[in-house]
Structure 1
Amino acid sequence: MNSSKKYFAESLGTFALVLFGCGAATLASVTNAGPAGIGLLGISLAFGFAVLVMVYTIGPISGCHINPAISIAMLAAGKLSAKDTVGYIISQCIGAIAAAGLLYVLASGSAGFSMPEWGLGSNGWGTGYLGEYNMTSALIAEFAFSFLFLIVIFGATASKHTSPMMAGLAIGISLALIHMVVIPITGTSVNPARSLGPALFAGGMALQQLWLFIVAPIAGGLCAALVRNIFLED
């Protein structure tokens, strides 16, 4: 597959993930949508369904990583070249930033809009953020659930064991499950690009805390690649 097509697919897929997922958190939450708000479960499903539909849309083109932690883990597992890893990550970040920009335009159309701390579905932790968990809980949660997410991805995409048509379902459901648990702690990242886009527009604490949502998912993904190479690969 032509590299430019793969990179465009990754940018488009990440754009969709951030727009659907963070859009659900920003525009359709209980706070913003009143009693009809979709709540934690709805936001979790929005992220999971976004990945699910994009796996079937761009999976045949790029593999549908739409997450730098996945691309880096695939590099470590020997499934992606260094050149494509760089191209994927840049494309993913561009897609996430574009989606956050569009979300900002949409959100700012609301009467009386002002950017809140950790706005546009930004990830964070500490006093004033959702469950007000501390940095240690945030770091452990993002590492552990990124590790599990990559374990699922490695298993679901092992062609000798899993039907390609079922891989998207397993990956989408796993991401939804992760969000159901981790949203109160960090808002759930497990994806540096997904965190980058909203943080750039929200600024403040979201931008200051962005480092954790880059370091922990990548570390969790690399650990999953190591476990896969040593214990799980046939």
Structure 2
Amino acid sequence: MKKLVAEFIGTLWLVFGGCGSAVLAAGYPELGIGFVGVSLAFGLTVITMAYAIGHISGCHLNPAVSIGLWVGGRFEGKHVFPYILAQVMGGIAGAAILYMIATGKPGFELGGFAANGFGEHSPGGYGMTSALIIEIVLTFIFLFVILGSTYTKAPRGFAGLAIGLCLTLIHLISIPVTNTSVNPARSTSQALFAGDWAIGQLWLFWLAPIIGAVIAGLVYKFLSPEITD
């Protein structure tokens, strides 16, 4: 239960911090942080939580991460579904808090609410195939970095930095394409508030990250097999 509570809080922070930076802080002409700032915000949420709850739950914060670690032999299968449930609920809670804050401003327009999308809902107008490819590839890299940086022979104490900086780079690459998911919990949380189109496209932001994570788990298990509890 402690691990699930930690995952709930961590995913809440990832959604509130990352998506909150996009909804509340990115759009101001004078003070806006832009997509570079949003990319940093997502990376910083992971870095901060890696050191806050990494020793409690492993700081997955992402259903694709839990699945990839399981496929890679680094996480017990019996914990996968409870972790995913805690992550999705934490993401929804983070989005709900963000929604309550954002709607407190007169004239606020929900818009996309930092949801992920393709086609006309892609920030750069990229189609479904582009979205599918980039989400698979970047989730693969993300899991590859996670598996490598947390390996027993990797330098100790630096995994959180490597993983957070990797997520920052991932956002710098893919915000124009899909608004960056690589995390089904993050996508689900925002889609529930953005509404019809986001829910209709949500399937891709579950399918692609899971495919990328599974491939990464298999590849890294082949390259450097390790079973841990």
Q: Distance in 1 between matches of 2:81 and 2:151?
A: 23
Alignment of 1:23 onto 2:16? no
8 Å Cα contact 1:122-1:195 kept in structure 2: yes
1:71-117 per-position Cα deviation (integer Å, ceiling 9, x unaligned): 0111112222222111100000000000111111111111112321x
8 Å Cα contact 1:190-1:217 kept in structure 2: yes
Match of 1:202 among 185, 191, 194: 194
Q: Distance in 1 between matches of 2:127 and 2:220?
A: 30
**Per-residue deviation at 1:129?**
3.1
8 Å Cα contact 1:8-1:91 kept in structure 2: yes
**DSSP-derived class of the 2:30 partner:** helix
Q: Distance in 2 between matches of 1:77 and 1:183?
A: 28
Q: Distance in 1 between matches of 2:72 and 2:217?
A: 5
RMSD of Structure 2 on Structure 1 (CA): 1.1
Match of 1:122 among 115, 130, 144: 115
Match of 1:101 among 96, 107, 112: 96
Task: Give the gaps of 5 or more residues in structure 2.
Answer: none
8 Å Cα contact 1:23-1:120 kept in structure 2: no
Match of 2:221 in 1: 229
1:13-37 per-position Cα deviation (integer Å, ceiling 9, x unaligned): 000000000000101012xx23210
**Per-residue deviation at 1:127?**
1.8
Task: Give the gaps of 5 or more residues in structure 1.
Answer: none
* Amino acid across the alignment from 2:15: V
8 Å Cα contact 2:73-2:221 kept in structure 1: no
Q: Which residues of 2 match residues 35-54 of structure 1 at below 5 A?
A: 35-54=30-49
* Amino acid across the alignment from 1:112: G
What is the TM-score of this pair, normalised by structure 1? 0.94
**DSSP-derived class of the 2:158 partner:** helix
Q: Distance in 2 between matches of 1:129 and 1:212?
A: 13
* Amino acid across the alignment from 1:90: L
Q: Distance in 1 between matches of 2:89 and 2:76?
A: 20
Q: Distance in 2 between matches of 1:218 and 1:52?
A: 22
* Amino acid across the alignment from 1:25: A
**DSSP-derived class of the 1:36 partner:** coil
Q: Distance in 1 between matches of 2:22 and 2:56?
A: 29
Alignment of 1:63 onto 2:58? yes
Match of 1:87 in 2: 82
Q: Distance in 2 between matches of 1:121 and 1:34?
A: 18
What is the TM-score of this pair, normalised by structure 2? 0.96
* Amino acid across the alignment from 2:84: I
Match of 1:139 in 2: 132
Q: Distance in 2 between matches of 1:139 and 1:39?
A: 24
**Per-residue deviation at 1:161?**
2.2
Match of 1:155 in 2: 148
8 Å Cα contact 1:100-1:120 kept in structure 2: no
Match of 2:5 in 1: 8
1:173-197 per-position Cα deviation (integer Å, ceiling 9, x unaligned): 0000000000000000000001000
Deviates more, 1:55-64 or 1:128-137: 128-137
Alignment of 1:112 onto 2:104? no
Moved over 2 A (4+): 231-234
